């Protein structure tokens, strides 16, 4: 885990009404359960304006209208460059947004980073079916390239970039990490990553759910499946799954951990996040009962800079 503070933070439980609400919501991943989950967690988060944090929204990192990102940085200047946390949202490849007016999500991820002495970035990416494979991984590369060139203006360290992908966002991050073709323009990659409730062995996942983005060609899917390369990667990667994640997310989590052990002789950093479901695991960030953030902070603190 890391520091004693991290252990203490992860030992705190969510309030009873949150635990009850999660049990009632269950494991289904639907628009209704997303709305219920957001309503359950929103009261634990700040609303704008955010004290002590500099926020700049909708910076363009590419030409598409979805090529926009928000930057959160501590208001106090520092002589030492800060690590950078980049969040890629989920949405089953066809939806999702970095921020919607009146909602604390996913501002809370970048706000958590800024309040822990880092620079936080939340980014949108192009969506299927209008933008199928490889648009998502291309966008991750463009985001990393933008950060390499620009994040210094916010006090960020372009050599200490942590990519965090949730659900389908984790798939985009995974594909970016393992396919060298996406690293040509980004200046050298990232220093660490965290995968939250993602699919890693795509050939073992529900093809129908991936079809809007990857299509229905099994040979193509097999050729781009990041699973084995991800398990073999030397990059520090944290894999996280929620207590109330659906079964397929838990199976993917178990698979990547076992495959990592088989191929590298040791388990990767992992986080089983109690009192959370597929939607609320990242909503832990910024709460008093955060059982996820200490894992991420520990990985970032112990990961070497990229070249």
Of 206 and 60, the structure prediction assigns the larger pLDDT to: 60
pLDDT of residue 188: 59
Neighbours of 173 (CB within 10 A): 29
Q: Is there a domain that residue 187 lies in?
A: yes
**What CATH code is carried by the domain that includes residue 100?**
3.40.50.1820
pLDDT of residue 7: 42
Which residue range(s) make up the domain with 203?
4-302
Q: How many folded domains does the chain comprise?
A: 1
Exposure class string for 190-205: b at 16+ Cβ within 10 A, else e = bbbbbbbbbbbbbeeb
- pLDDT tens-digit readout, 85-119: 999 999 999 999 999 999 999 999 999 999 999 99
Q: Could you tell me the two tokens for 113?
A: 């980073």
Q: Is there a domain that residue 48 lies in?
A: yes
Q: Is there a domain that residue 307 lies in?
A: no
Q: Which DSSP letter does residue 204 get? A: G
Q: Is there a domain that residue 224 lies in?
A: yes
- pLDDT tens-digit readout, 128-187: 999 999 999 999 999 999 999 999 999 999 999 999 999 999 999 999 999 988 986 555
Of 271 and 79, the structure prediction assigns the larger pLDDT to: 271
Q: Is there a domain that residue 157 lies in?
A: yes
Burial environment of residue 23 by CB neighbours within 10 A (0 to 12, 13 to 18, 19 or more)? exposed
The continuous run of DSSP H or E covering 276 comes out as strand 270-277
| Contact by Cβ (8 Å): 68, 98 | yes
The continuous run of DSSP H or E covering 301 comes out as helix 293-302
Kindly report whether the peptide bond that precedes residue 129 is cis, defined as omega within 30 degrees of 0.
yes
Q: Are strands 156-166 and 192-196 parallel, antiparallel or unpaired?
A: parallel
Q: Is the pLDDT assigned to residue 192 strictly greater than 60?
A: yes
Band of pLDDT at residue 275, cut at 50, 70 and 90: very high
Q: Is there a domain that residue 65 lies in?
A: yes
Helices 16-25 & 31-41, crossing angle to 10 degrees? 180
Strand partners, 229: none
Instruction: State mean pLDDT over 239-250.
Output: 97
pLDDT of residue 184: 65
Scan for tokens 């594909």, then name that residue: 175
- Longest Cα pair distance anywhere in the chain, in angstroms? 51
Of 38 and 180, the structure prediction assigns the larger pLDDT to: 38
Neighbours of 26 (CB within 10 A): 12
| Contact by Cβ (8 Å): 129, 212 | yes
Instruction: State mean pLDDT over 210-226.
Output: 94
Instruction: State mean pLDDT over 26-39.
Output: 96
């Amino acid at each position: 885990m890391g520091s004693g503070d991290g252990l203490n933070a992860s030992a705190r439980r969510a309030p009873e009404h949150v635990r009850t609400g999660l049990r009632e919501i269950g494991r289904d991943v639907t628009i209704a359960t997303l709305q219920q989950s957001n309503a359950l967690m929103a009261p634990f988060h700040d609303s704008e304006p955010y004290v002590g944090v500099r926020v700049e929204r909708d910076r363009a990192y590419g030409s598409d209208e979805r090529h926009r990102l928000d930057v959160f940085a501590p208001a106090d200047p520092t002589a030492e460059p800060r690590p950078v946390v980049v969040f890629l949202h989920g949405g089953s490849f066809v939806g999702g947004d970095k921020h919607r007016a009146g909602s604390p999500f996913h501002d809370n991820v970048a706000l958590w980073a800024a309040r822990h002495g880092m620079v936080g970035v939340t980014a949108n990416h192009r969506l299927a079916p209008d933008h199928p494979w490889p648009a998502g991984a291309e966008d991750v590369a463009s985001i990393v390239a933008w950060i390499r060139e620009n994040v210094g203006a916010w006090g960020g360290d372009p050599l200490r970039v942590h990519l965090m992908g949730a659900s389908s966002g984790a798939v985009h991050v995974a594909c970016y990490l393992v396919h060298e073709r996406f690293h040509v323009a980004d200046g050298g990659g990232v220093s660490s990553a965290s995968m939250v409730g993602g699919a890693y062995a795509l050939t073992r996942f529900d093809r129908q759910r991936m079809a809007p983005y990857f299509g229905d060609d099994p040979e193509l899917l097999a050729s781009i499946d990041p699973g084995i390369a991800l398990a073999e990667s030397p990059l520090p990667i944290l894999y996280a799954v929620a207590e109330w994640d659906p079964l397929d997310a838990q199976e993917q989590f178990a698979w990547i951990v076992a495959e990592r052990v088989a191929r590298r002789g040791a388990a990767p950093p992992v986080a089983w996040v109690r009192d959370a479901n597929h939607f609320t695991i990242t909503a832990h960030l910024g709460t008093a009962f955060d059982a996820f953030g200490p894992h991420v902070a520990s990985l970032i603190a112990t990961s070497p800079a990229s070249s």
